[in-house]
């Protein structure tokens, strides 16, 4: 994947066989943006793409050049105050009080592979041949500010990873108020913006709207990436659909406050910025210090939204997620949360686990409530003392008992939190976030530890290490159940309080890093009241995430469909739970609940001991089915076929990497009568192979891949008529495809 610098035209061209990014050193020395999109033939100059015209009301850069204004140059890392009038990528205040920064080109370097980002999650390569990285150095020498922009172009992905490093040479201290990870000036605004939005229990719904003049975007000021908005947006051409059309996806590898914006000016230039939200952020830089922004990943697709998502999936599954579990099929688990909540005894848990084992479950997850003073969500966090009444043999004893019945042991924890009745708070009041003399504000009756304080991270590491040492734990669910408020650190001087929220996240990453290194074979699943931290940053440490506290099959269609815009199926925790559903009382068939959860890391979250024999038998069969298909679902290619947001049936499928098999799920929320005929056009199959299709009723038919993709799978059912099939609302159909041997 070449990175070329054309000396004469001072143009950088980064490209692989799918994507091109063109940048040019402008007449004033600023770094300009010429193009970002589908791969272009290289040539020595693309100067015709640099457009500047004399317009009224310009602030000119040179006395004698009425056309060259930073307002109209498309730039890579713009600042405010020397001509550009838009939201900047960088904003900082020098000790002299000036924010007037003018970053000019100094030089570049091409680095083999991809250097890691110190202390931050980021995509990586396993061999240098997989990527090249361009570093472009800019500076405002008068202000002492240096900026290095990093661009990695991958060999195998239509993606470019970016971040910036801001250095300061002095004198005194620079106050860095805004340092975006990515800025991209696109020459037009003929796009629609896709964002993932929602709230607790309805995370990551897909919202799409045309761009208009002004600023549009999403953000989080909750200290976590949030249920409400995901650190992602896509700009797509209006004709872009799931299988066709152009899309640019922007994703931030970060778990804290973020801003993702598209700023359209009246000349229809669109500036995309993505990075840490500038609100509540101020990072003082002393002479010689450097600030490293999180990484942003840009993906280009000319194969529709599925093309964009599949690039994100492959990149994030294989070159962001890491470790022992990255490429391994995930165990089928039973989580006791919705089965027992806080009300359990060891006997009850072992009964549940024993029943689960008989049905084929592999991992038992002990959720919240195993530690002292935790019979409700009103206390107990921080000390992490085992509740000996509930677990007389401790975690080790309980783990052994599970192992004896052939079950692996998984454990819930919420390390970042503290309850006000804890010993930890009494002994270390300075470890709790909040202004001295003012009580911090509760959320779910709990408070936040100052994760930016290394002493807190050290305490948690030691505490958790000693808890886990010698205990046969193979899985941890790391929860985080409130938004951050009272972001004041008592171990931090007044002038540095603007660093607290970012340092909180760095502390979370540091703790994850130490624990995952210390226990490399433990499978971590991140969680934040369901999906409030379903973000790429977490995936670097925990290859899977609890997608949502909402386990209702119908709600999960929208949640999982939206989540799949960016995140791989192997990362999405999806469980079958009881009916009536605990979040909204809906009653859906067991088969439908399983057919939705199968497209995720599959598990159960209900009291199996209470089920009638017929349902236990059905679950036994579901688990056998899940085991047969999990390799394809978790490591194959996922295709969205029909969207729940379009009002009709939902459909999606997973195809084995070699195209030899596929699993299709079709879902109907409300049944119909005398409806139209139905076909679902499949995708990703080998057009010339003959597939044996086993339908939901076991009926077998054979079709070539091209027919299934062009004509579609005929899914007309009892609803096309008087509807006497007995199938009601909330029905799902699974189709299994196996290619016949040639
Ligand atoms: C959060 C999680 C749930 C469960 C509870 C326990 O809400 O998302 O899955 O673990 O906490 O308190």
Q: Write out pLDDT tens, residues 57-66.
A: 999 999 999 9
Got the DSSP string for 366-416? E-S--BTT-SSTTS-TTT--B-TTT-TTHHHHHHHHHHHTT-EEEEEE-TT
Which value, to the nearest 10 degrees, does the dihedral of the CA atoms of residues 712, 718, 719, 724 take?
180
How many Å lie between the centroid of ligand 1 and the Cα of residue 368? 7
Structure token digits, residue 320: 């962001």
What was the pLDDT predicted at 1?
63
What was the pLDDT predicted at 702?
98
Q: Is the CB of 229 under 6 A from ligand 1?
A: no
233 contacts 215 by C-beta, under 8 angstroms: no
Within 8 A by CB and 6+ apart from 727, the residues are: 671, 717, 718, 719
Distance (Å, whole) CA 39 – CA 18: 5
How many Å lie between the centroid of ligand 1 and the Cα of residue 214? 39
Q: Write out pLDDT tens, residues 696-714.
A: 999 999 999 999 999 999 9
Q: Is the pLDDT of residue 724 over 90?
A: no
Q: Is the CB of 338 under 6 A from ligand 1?
A: no
3-state secondary structure 34-53: EEEEECCCCCCCCHHHCCCC
Q: Is the pLDDT of residue 247 over 70?
A: yes
Average pLDDT over residues 452-481: 98
- Shortest-distance atom of ligand 1 to CA 377: 12
Within 8 A by CB and 6+ apart from 617, the residues are: none
Q: Which of 235, 227, 236 is nearest to 205 (CA)?
A: 227
Q: Is the pLDDT of residue 306 over 70?
A: yes
Q: Is the CB of 525 under 6 A from ligand 1?
A: no
Q: Is the CB of 530 under 6 A from ligand 1?
A: yes
How many Å lie between the centroid of ligand 1 and the Cα of residue 640? 28
Q: Is the CB of 549 under 6 A from ligand 1?
A: yes
DSSP code, position 554: H
26 contacts 32 by C-beta, under 8 angstroms: yes
How many Å lie between the centroid of ligand 1 and the Cα of residue 232? 24
Q: Which of 102, 137, 368, 479 is catalytic?
A: 479
Distance (Å, whole) CA 585 – CA 578: 10
Q: Is the CB of 534 under 6 A from ligand 1?
A: no
151 contacts 137 by C-beta, under 8 angstroms: no
Chain CA centroid to CA 187, Å:
28
Got the DSSP string for 117-139? PTTS-----SSGGGEEEEEEEEE
Q: Write out pLDDT tens, residues 627-667.
A: 999 999 999 999 999 999 999 999 999 999 999 999 999 99
- Shortest-distance atom of ligand 1 to CA 367: 10
Structure token digits, residue 407: 């079950």
Q: Establish whether 535 is a catalytic residue.
A: no
Q: Greatest CA span in the chain, whole angstroms?
A: 87
Q: Write out pLDDT tens, residues 17-45.
A: 999 999 999 999 999 999 999 999 999 99
What was the pLDDT predicted at 688?
97
Q: Establish whether 479 is a catalytic residue.
A: yes
Count of positions (residues) in the chain: 742
Q: Is the CB of 667 under 6 A from ligand 1?
A: no
Average pLDDT over residues 382-393: 97
Chain CA centroid to CA 176, Å:
26
Average pLDDT over residues 73-90: 96
Return contacts of 4-7, CB within 8 angstroms, 24+ apart. Answer: 4/42, 5/108, 6/44, 6/45
Q: Is the pLDDT of residue 742 over 80?
A: no
* Ligand 1 pocket test, candidate residues 367, 377, 443, 482, most atoms within 8 A of CB: 367
Pairing relationship of beta strands 572-577 and 601-605 according to DSSP bridges: parallel
402-416 in b/e form (b: 16+ CB < 10 A) is beeeebbbbbbbbbb
Average pLDDT over residues 233-244: 98
* Ligand 1 pocket test, candidate residues 368, 547, 573, most atoms within 8 A of CB: 368
Distance (Å, whole) CA 173 – CA 286: 5
- Shortest-distance atom of ligand 1 to CA 527: 8
Q: Is the CB of 371 under 6 A from ligand 1?
A: no
* Ligand 1 pocket test, candidate residues 413, 417, 479, 573, most atoms within 8 A of CB: 479
Q: What does each C-alpha distance from 134 to 16, 145, 161, 164 come to in angstroms?
A: 14, 20, 10, 12
> Percentage of the chain with pLDDT > 70?
100
CA nearest ligand 1 atom 12, residue: 368
How many Å lie between the centroid of ligand 1 and the Cα of residue 546? 9
Q: Is the CB of 412 under 6 A from ligand 1?
A: yes
Q: Is the CB of 527 under 6 A from ligand 1?
A: yes
Chain CA centroid to CA 92, Å:
29
Q: Is the CB of 414 under 6 A from ligand 1?
A: no
Q: Which of 549, 550, 649, 717 is catalytic?
A: 549
CA nearest ligand 1 atom 6, residue: 368
CA nearest ligand 1 atom 11, residue: 529
Question: Confidence band (pLDDT; 50, 70, 90) for 419?
Answer: very high
Average pLDDT over residues 134-153: 98
Q: What pairs with residue 155 in β-bridges?
A: none
* Ligand 1 pocket test, candidate residues 529, 531, 583, 606, most atoms within 8 A of CB: 529
How many Å lie between the centroid of ligand 1 and the Cα of residue 532? 11
71 contacts 80 by C-beta, under 8 angstroms: no
Q: Which of 604, 618, 629, 611 is nearest to 734 (CA)?
A: 629
274 vs 726, more confident:
274
Average pLDDT over residues 336-354: 98
What was the pLDDT predicted at 298?
98
Q: Write out pLDDT tens, residues 558-573.
A: 999 999 999 999 999 9
Q: Is the pLDDT of residue 91 over 70?
A: yes
Question: Confidence band (pLDDT; 50, 70, 90) for 723?
Answer: confident
């Amino acid at each position: 994947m070449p990175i070329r610098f054309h000396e004469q035209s001072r143009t950088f061209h980064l490209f692989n066989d799918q994507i091109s990014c063109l940048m040019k050193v402008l007449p004033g020395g600023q770094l300009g943006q010429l193009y970002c999109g589908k791969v272009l033939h290289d040539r020595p100059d693309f100067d015709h793409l640099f457009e500047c015209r004399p317009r009224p009301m310009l602030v000119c850069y040179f006395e004698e050049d009425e056309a060259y204004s930073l307002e109209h140059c498309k730039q890579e890392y713009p600042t405010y105050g020397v001509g550009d009038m838009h939201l900047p990528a960088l904003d900082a205040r020098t000790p002299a009080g000036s924010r007037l920064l003018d970053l000019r080109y100094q030089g570049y370097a091409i680095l083999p592979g991809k250097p890691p980002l110190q202390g931050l999650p980021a995509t990586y390569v396993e061999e240098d041949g997989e990527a090249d990285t361009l570093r472009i150095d800019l500076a405002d020498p008068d202000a002492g500010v240096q900026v290095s922009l990093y661009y990695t172009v991958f060999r195998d992905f239509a993606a470019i990873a970016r971040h910036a490093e801001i250095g300061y040479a002095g004198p005194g201290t620079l106050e860095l108020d805004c340092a975006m990870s990515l800025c991209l000036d696109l020459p037009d605004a003929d796009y629609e913006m896709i964002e993932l939005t929602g709230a607790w229990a309805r995370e990551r719904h897909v919202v799409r709207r045309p761009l208009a003049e002004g600023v549009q975007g999403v953000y989080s000021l909750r200290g976590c990436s949030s249920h409400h908005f995901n650190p992602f947006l896509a700009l797509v051409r209006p004709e872009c659909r799931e299988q066709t059309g152009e899309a640019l996806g922007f994703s931030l590898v970060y778990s804290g406050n973020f801003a993702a914006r598209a700023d359209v000016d009246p000349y229809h230039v669109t500036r995309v910025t993505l990075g840490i939200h500038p609100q509540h952020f101020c990072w003082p830089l002393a002479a010689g210090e450097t600030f490293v922004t999180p990484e942003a990943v840009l993906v280009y697709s000319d194969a529709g939204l599925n093309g964009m998502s599949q690039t994100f999936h492959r990149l994030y599954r294989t070159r962001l997620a890491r470790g022992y579990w990255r490429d391994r099929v995930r165990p089928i688990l039973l989580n006791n949360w919705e089965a027992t909540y806080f009300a359990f005894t060891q006997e009850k848990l072992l009964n549940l686990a024993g029943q689960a084992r008989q049905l084929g479950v592999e991992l038992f997850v002990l959720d919240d409530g195993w530690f002292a003073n935790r019979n409700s969500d009103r206390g107990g966090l921080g000390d992490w003392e085992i509740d000996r009444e509930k677990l007389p043999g401790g975690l080790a004893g309980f783990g052994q008992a599970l192992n004896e019945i052939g079950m692996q042991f998984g454990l819930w924890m919420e390390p970042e939190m503290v309850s006000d009745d804890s010993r930890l708070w009494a002994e270390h009041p300075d470890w709790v976030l909040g202004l001295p003399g003012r009580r911090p504000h509760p959320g779910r009756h709990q408070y936040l530890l100052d994760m930016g304080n290394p002493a807190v991270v050290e305490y948690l590491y030691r505490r958790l290490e000693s808890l886990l040492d010698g205990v046969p734990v193979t899985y941890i669910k790391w929860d985080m159940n409130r938004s951050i408020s009272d972001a004041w650190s008592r171990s931090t001087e007044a002038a540095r309080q603007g660093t607290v929220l970012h340092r909180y996240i760095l502390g979370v990453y540091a703790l994850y890093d130490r624990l995952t290194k210390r226990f490399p074979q433990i499978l971590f699943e991140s969680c934040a009241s369901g999906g409030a931290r379903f973000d790429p940053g977490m995936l670097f440490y925990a290859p899977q995430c609890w997608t949502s506290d909402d386990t209702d099959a119908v709600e999960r269609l929208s949640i999982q469909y939206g989540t799949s815009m960016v995140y791989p199926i192997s990362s999405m925790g999806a469980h079958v739970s009881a009916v009536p559903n605990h979040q909204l009382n809906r009653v859906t068939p067991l088969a439908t609940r399983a057919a939705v959860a199968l497209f995720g890391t599959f598990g159960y979250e209900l009291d199996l001991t209470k089920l009638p024999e017929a349902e236990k038998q059905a679950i036994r069969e579901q688990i056998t089915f899940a085991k047969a298909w999990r390799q394809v679902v978790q490591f194959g290619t996922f295709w969205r076929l029909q969207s729940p947001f379009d009002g009709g049936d939902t459909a999606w499928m997973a195809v084995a990497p070699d195209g030899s098999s596929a699993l299709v799920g079709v879902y109907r929320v409300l049944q119909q009568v005398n409806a139209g005929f139905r076909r679902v056009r499949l995708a990703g199959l080998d057009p010339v192979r003959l597939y044996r299709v086993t339908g939901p009723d076991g009926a077998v038919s054979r079709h070539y891949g091209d027919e299934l993709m062009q004509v579609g799978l005929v899914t007309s059912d009892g609803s096309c008529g008087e509807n006497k099939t007995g199938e009601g609302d909330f029905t799902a159909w699974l189709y299994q495809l196996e290619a016949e041997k040639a």
